């Protein structure tokens, strides 16, 4: 059984769904600018209209209500509220979120508000963005405004979404906004400021809260999982999960250890060596604020076995292993091991703030949108999450990514992640078969989800009588 009060949710983010990019005084963000750079976004698309959620908000909330969602995770657009990032508030922009929150509550849906889902105001980017040491204060000031206005009704707050991605792809690889390819030292500094911004924002939210509330964050997880249930493989995977293994952003602990433990991990410091900027120890007092839940975005994973010395060795997925249209391997066990390893290490309740898949969805001749792969994906992933809960991991909620098909960043509109199909020519929404299925799951409080260990064709390795590594390869 899923725990009492489990949050059955779905998620979105401002730039990916809102549209109305130049409406009601919204200022530009780095994504508006990035989309104009030729060759950066598939087919040259942008979020000018996206799902036009800004204008269709009531209709959209009614669909969420129909689905029975208990919680909806959305992000607020910093530059809609503060067109220049700091200074004068754009009342029309702020009141959009006010009205959205009321509409959700009216529909019996808890609002879960993310303050930063990658859309740095362009004016602040022109002042250095996350490279500017003032950025934590800019962000905390914006958070204070949002808390002041909404914390009488919004009880769940998320500071930043996936620093690994907005620093990694945005500041290191240049494939996401703001499109920078900074040297290691500089992106480490930008990342450090983002972590300080997280801490400063937790403080600001708590200082301005009008009611008791819960604060968390939403990094993504690189899920390294064991190739078998043997204790040696489990420990090897755990070790790898908690390691900085290369000089890129793609790890868990460089980001999470400062937030949860108050310092960067020793292996990361060794990897980055002389490139690590001289951080003040007081920075870590700011970064490490008590938070209430560990939000995490999980989509996939890679498996590892122990070598003779117990070190993790990658065991690639075999030929023909299922993948999504993003070519991400389908790995339900990631929703068992990811939450488990995080819970064991950081001892906080876990909320799955994103999980889902891009799929080849289209409208069938009868007008419906059948997406059996999404249903099977969710049944298996949720089965693993349920298994984790059964095995003692405190799991508080699950947010499907995404409620709607939407603007998938550099992929434009090609990748469809939604429970609800969006026809971008007309704006028409059609609940996919998976939306109907999820509705039934929510109504049954997840009682129709089969725990992974009992699935016949289920996730490898979680069955009792664990398979050996050899059988799995
Ligand atoms: C995550 C992002 C989200 C969406 C999904 C597919 O990395 O947080 O906005 O793009 O991936």
42, 409, 412: which to mutate for ligand 1, most atoms within 8 A of CB? Answer: 409
Token reading at 18: 């809102």
Query: Using one digit for the tens of pLDDT, what is the confidence trace for 336-389?
Result: 999 999 999 999 999 999 999 999 999 999 999 999 999 999 999 999 999 999
Q: How confident is the model at residue 470 (pLDDT cuts 50, 70, 90)?
A: very low
Does 161 sit in the ligand 1 pocket, CB within 6 Å?
yes
Query: Using one digit for the tens of pLDDT, what is the confidence trace for 46-83?
Result: 999 999 999 999 999 999 999 999 999 999 999 999 99
Q: Which residues are catalytic?
A: 162, 354
Q: What is the pLDDT of residue 467?
A: 41
Is the pLDDT at 38 greater than 60? The verdict is yes
Residue with more model confidence, 42 or 457: 42
CA 307 / ligand 1 centre spacing (Å): 34
Residue 16 CA: which ligand 1 atom is closest? 9
CA 177 / ligand 1 centre spacing (Å): 14
Average pLDDT rounded to a whole number, residues 444-452? 95
- Could you tell me where the DSSP H helices lie in 83-183? 91-106, 122-125, 135-150, 163-167
CA 281 / ligand 1 centre spacing (Å): 32
Residue among 160, 110, 102 at smallest CA distance from 6: 110
Does 353 sit in the ligand 1 pocket, CB within 6 Å?
no
Average pLDDT rounded to a whole number, residues 446-462? 79
Does 75 sit in the ligand 1 pocket, CB within 6 Å?
no
CA 259 / ligand 1 centre spacing (Å): 21
Q: Rounded to an integer, what distance in angstroms lies between the CA atom of residue 190 and that of residue 131?
A: 5
CA 330 / ligand 1 centre spacing (Å): 16
Q: Which residue has the tokens 């993003």?
A: 326
Query: Using one digit for the tens of pLDDT, what is the confidence trace for 310-338?
Result: 999 999 999 999 999 999 999 999 999 99
Q: Rounded to an integer, what distance in angstroms lies between the CA atom of residue 447 and that of residue 463?
A: 19
Is the pLDDT at 473 greater than 60? The verdict is no
Does 14 sit in the ligand 1 pocket, CB within 6 Å?
no
How large a percentage of the chain has pLDDT more than 90?
A: 95
Query: Using one digit for the tens of pLDDT, what is the confidence trace for 409-441?
Result: 999 999 999 999 999 999 999 999 999 999 999
Q: What is the pLDDT of residue 466?
A: 42
Token reading at 281: 């120890």
Does 354 sit in the ligand 1 pocket, CB within 6 Å?
yes
CA 207 / ligand 1 centre spacing (Å): 30
Query: Using one digit for the tens of pLDDT, what is the confidence trace for 277-314?
Result: 999 999 999 999 999 999 999 999 999 999 999 999 99
Q: How far apart are the first and last CA of the chain?
A: 32
Is the pLDDT at 468 greater than 50? The verdict is no
Q: How many helices (H) and strands (E) does the chain have?
A: 17, 13
Q: How confident is the model at residue 457 (pLDDT cuts 50, 70, 90)?
A: low
How large a percentage of the chain has pLDDT more than 70?
A: 96
Name the packing angle between helices 334-346 and 253-261 (round to 10°). Answer: 40
Is the pLDDT at 212 greater than 70? The verdict is yes
Query: Using one digit for the tens of pLDDT, what is the confidence trace for 92-119?
Result: 999 999 999 999 999 999 999 999 999 9
Annotate 167-215 with DSSP letters as a single string.
Answer: HIIIIIS-SSTT-----HHHHHHHHHHHHHHHHHHHHHHHHH-SS--EE
Q: What is the pLDDT of residue 50?
A: 98
Query: Using one digit for the tens of pLDDT, what is the confidence trace for 391-416?
Result: 999 999 999 999 999 999 999 999 99
CA-CA-CA-CA torsion sign (18, 19, 25, 31): positive
CA-CA-CA-CA torsion sign (389, 392, 395, 401): negative
Does 401 sit in the ligand 1 pocket, CB within 6 Å?
yes
Average pLDDT rounded to a whole number, residues 21-49? 98
Cα angle 145, 151, 156; round to 5 = 110
358, 408, 413, 416: which to mutate for ligand 1, most atoms within 8 A of CB? Answer: 408
Cα angle 334, 340, 344; round to 5 = 150
Q: What is the pLDDT of residue 378?
A: 98
Does 13 sit in the ligand 1 pocket, CB within 6 Å?
yes
Average pLDDT rounded to a whole number, residues 197-203? 99
Residue among 210, 198, 239, 26 at smallest CA distance from 101: 210
Does 408 sit in the ligand 1 pocket, CB within 6 Å?
yes
Does 160 sit in the ligand 1 pocket, CB within 6 Å?
no
354, 356, 357, 402: which to mutate for ligand 1, most atoms within 8 A of CB? Answer: 354
Does 405 sit in the ligand 1 pocket, CB within 6 Å?
no
Query: Using one digit for the tens of pLDDT, what is the confidence trace for 140-178?
Result: 999 999 999 999 999 999 999 999 999 999 999 999 999
Residue 161 CA: which ligand 1 atom is closest? 8
Residue 162 CA: which ligand 1 atom is closest? 8
Considering the segment(s) 7-471 as one domain, its CATH architecture is Alpha-Beta Barrel (3.20)
Annotated domain spans of the chain: 7-471
Q: What is the pLDDT of residue 417?
A: 99
Token reading at 466: 């664990």
Q: What is the pLDDT of residue 376?
A: 97
Q: Rounded to an integer, what distance in angstroms lies between the CA atom of residue 390 and that of residue 403?
A: 27
Q: How confident is the model at residue 455 (pLDDT cuts 50, 70, 90)?
A: confident
Q: Are 57 and 103 spatial neighbours (Cβ–Cβ below 8 Å)?
A: yes
Average confidence score pLDDT of the chain: 96
- Strand 71-75 with 110-116, pairing: parallel
Annotate 273-294 with DSSP letters as a single string.
Answer: GGGS----HHHHHHH----SEE
Q: Rounded to an integer, what distance in angstroms lies between the CA atom of residue 118 and that of residue 27?
A: 15
């Amino acid at each position: 059984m899923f725990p009492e009060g489990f949050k059955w949710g779905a998620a979105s983010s401002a730039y990916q769904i809102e549209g109305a990019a130049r409406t009601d005084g919204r200022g530009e963000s780095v994504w508006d600018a990035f989309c104009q750079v030729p060759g950066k976004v598939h087919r040259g698309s942008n979020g000018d209209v996206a799902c036009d959620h800004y204008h269709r908000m009531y209709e959209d909330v009614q669909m969420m209500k129909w689905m029975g969602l208990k919680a909806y995770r959305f992000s607020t657009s910093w530059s809609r509220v503060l067109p220049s990032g700091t200074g004068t508030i754009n009342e029309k922009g702020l009141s959009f979120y006010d009205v959205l929150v009321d509409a959700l509550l009216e529909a019996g849906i808890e609002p879960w508000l993310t303050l930063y889902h990658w859309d740095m105001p362009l004016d602040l980017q022109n002042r250095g963005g996350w490279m500017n040491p003032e950025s934590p204060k800019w962000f905390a000031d914006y958070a204070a405004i949002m808390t002041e206005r909404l914390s009488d009704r919004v009880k769940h707050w998320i500071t930043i979404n996936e620093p690994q991605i907005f620093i990694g792809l945005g500041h290191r690889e240049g494939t996401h906004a703001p499109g920078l390819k900074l040297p290691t030292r500089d992106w480490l500094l930008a990342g450090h400021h983002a972590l300080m911004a997280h801490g400063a924002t937790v403080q600001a939210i708590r200082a301005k809260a009008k009611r008791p509330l819960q604060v968390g964050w939403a990094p993504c997880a690189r899920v390294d999982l064991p190739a078998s249930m043997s204790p040696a493989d489990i420990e090897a995977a755990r070790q790898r999960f908690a390691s900085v293994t290369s000089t890129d952003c793609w790890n868990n602990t460089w980001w999470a250890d400062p937030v949860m433990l108050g310092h960067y991990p020793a292996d990361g410091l060794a990897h980055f060596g002389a490139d690590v900027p001289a951080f003040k120890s007081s920075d870590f007092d700011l970064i490490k604020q008590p938070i209430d839940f560990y939000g995490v975005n999980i989509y996939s994973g890679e498996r590892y076995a122990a070598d003779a010395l117990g070190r993790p060795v990658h065991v690639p997925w075999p030929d023909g292993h299922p993948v999504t249209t993003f070519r991400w391997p389908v790995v339900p066990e990631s929703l068992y091991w990811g939450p488990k390893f995080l819970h064991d290490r950081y001892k906080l309740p876990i909320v799955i703030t994103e999980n889902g898949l891009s799929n080849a969805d289209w409208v069938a001749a009868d007008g419906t949108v059948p997406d059996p792969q999404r249903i099977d994906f969710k049944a298996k992933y949720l089965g693993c999450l349920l298994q984790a809960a059964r095995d003692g991991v405190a799991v508080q909620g699950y947010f499907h990514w995404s409620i709607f098909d939407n603007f998938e960043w550099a992929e434009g509109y090609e990748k469809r992640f939604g429970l609800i199909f969006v026809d971008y020519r007309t704006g028409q929404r059609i609940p996919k078969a998976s939306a109907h299925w999820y509705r039934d799951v929510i109504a049954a409080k997840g009682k129709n989800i089969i725990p992974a260990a009992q699935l016949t064709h289920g996730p490898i390795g979680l069955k009792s009588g664990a398979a050996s590594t050899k059988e799995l390869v």
